[in-house]
Amino acid sequence: MTAVLVACAHGTRSPDGQGVVRSLVADLRALRPGLRVEEAFVDVQEPAVADVVAAVLADAPGTGAAVSPAGRPAVVVAPLLLSTGFHVRHDIGAAVAGRPARAAAPIGPDRRLVTVLLQRLHEAGAVPGDAVVLAAAGSSDPAAAEAVREVTAGLAEAWAGPVTVGFGAAAEPTVSAAVAAARADGAGRVVVASYLLAPGHFHSALARAGADVVTAPLGPHPLLAPIVLDRYDAAVDGAGGTVPG
């Protein structure tokens, strides 16, 4: 039995942000035609991830045991999120707990995300020597902050200029404070690199952070779906993700 992939995004009221998620789900289906992919959300939009997991299992005969007959989970919830945090641990964790299901690892950190960030920087007109502030949504979960800092370190290795990090909420420094610090350190120009999957509330706020340039979000991009499928495969094989409960 092939485990169903439930692609779980945060959710947004932004039509452009919703379009990015739909595009990513379409890419998943196109890259893996035989795989059933369902869309779900943890906030703002419906359907909720727990409802999708329950509906998928209700459709699948013989999945009442802890795993499928092949010893694999019947459902893998793949977070379309850039790091772990409350929604991964709480919402997605609760959706799979006690069911023949598994939560995959989130999209980040991943070296391919650095490739996307560099492309977005070039598209926005950033040039070597510009100071870059990687702008992440932020989380009070230390593991989430560490994941962002790992991507920051990867970008710093690849970018010919200073690279620091700022957060939209729940962590320090804020994006505005990181931009101000870059200027205080003598930066001639400061570019905010949006470490966000799609347009929405947090991305809109970056325009008020005081930078000279703000890049587009990561999505849509052809490298994102392969990362999600790698996380799915690792979860199915038991090499990644978790089975909370």
pLDDT in tens, 55-77: 999 986 544 434 454 556 899 99
β-bridge partners, 191: 132, 213
pLDDT average, residue stretch 177-194: 97
Residue 50: pLDDT over 60: yes
Q: Extract the tokens encoding 224.
A: 């994102």
89, 141 Cβ separation under 8 angstroms: yes
Average pLDDT, the chain: 90
Residue 241 banded pLDDT, cuts 50, 70, 90: low
Q: What is the pLDDT of residue 243?
A: 39
Q: What is the pLDDT of residue 55?
A: 94
pLDDT average, residue stretch 109-122: 98
The whole-model pTM stands at 0.91
Instruction: Write the burial class of residue 9 (CB in 10 Å: 0-12 exposed, 13-18 middle, 19+ buried).
Output: buried
